[in-house]
Chains A and B, each alone.
Chain A
């Protein structure tokens, strides 16, 4: 799976994990998740531009319905890595430990959206989170 595919899947999943949905009506943000994503985004190169796009897409999605994704318009190639990296770190809870329920939610959405590719993607996320967690002394 190449980084562009992983990044696009990660971004689509991020949007779903950051916004409460009943599959027809977008309701509101999942506040704590957005706060974590915002904090983690800022730690990446190109993270501020990414965060601007993410927040823009979130508000558009909640209040107006997205016509053109700001993420799609970003020209920085690093955006794929940032999207994937932020998703991986979102799997950490406040104590820096693996957040099983959040991961299961992500895996469930990935599976329903992308079938086998989604399951493969979730495996990558799981491995990369463990790698991230232990290489950062958590």
Chain B
């Protein structure tokens, strides 16, 4: 499978999992995702996490 497509799918699934059934921020899970992103890649992890949280807010509101 194409890596970019794989990434896109994973990103969409990640957003769905972080929002949860309530349709709100699952705060602890988002914090964990941010930590994991930063652990995974020190340079780009923070930027990824910022984009992710912003996209989450866009999805929710």
Interface residues on A, range: 10 to 19
Chain A residues with CB below 8 A from B34, complex form:
63
Verify A28–B56 contact, CB threshold 8 A: no
Q: How many residues of B contact A (CB 8 A)?
A: 17
Q: Would B27 and A58 count as touching, CB distance under 8 A? A: no
Taking CB atoms, residues of chain B closer than 8 Å to A35 are 61
Interface of B is mostly: helix
Q: Which residues of A contact B58 (CB under 8 A)?
A: 55
Distance A59 CA – B15 CA, assembled complex (angstroms): 14
The yes or no answer to A38 lying at the interface (CB within 8 A) is yes
Cross-chain contact B27 with A60 (CB below 8 angstroms): no
Whether B27 pairs with A27 at a CB distance below 8 angstroms is: yes
Whether B24 lies near A28 (C-beta < 8 A) is yes
Residues on A with beta carbons closer than 8 Å to the beta carbon of B53: 59-60, 62-64
- Hey, which bits of chain B sit against chain A, CB under 8 A? 23-25, 27, 30-31, 34, 46, 49-50, 53-54, 56-58, 60-61
Interface residues of A (CB under 8 A from B): 27-29, 31, 34-35, 38, 51, 55-56, 58-60, 62-64
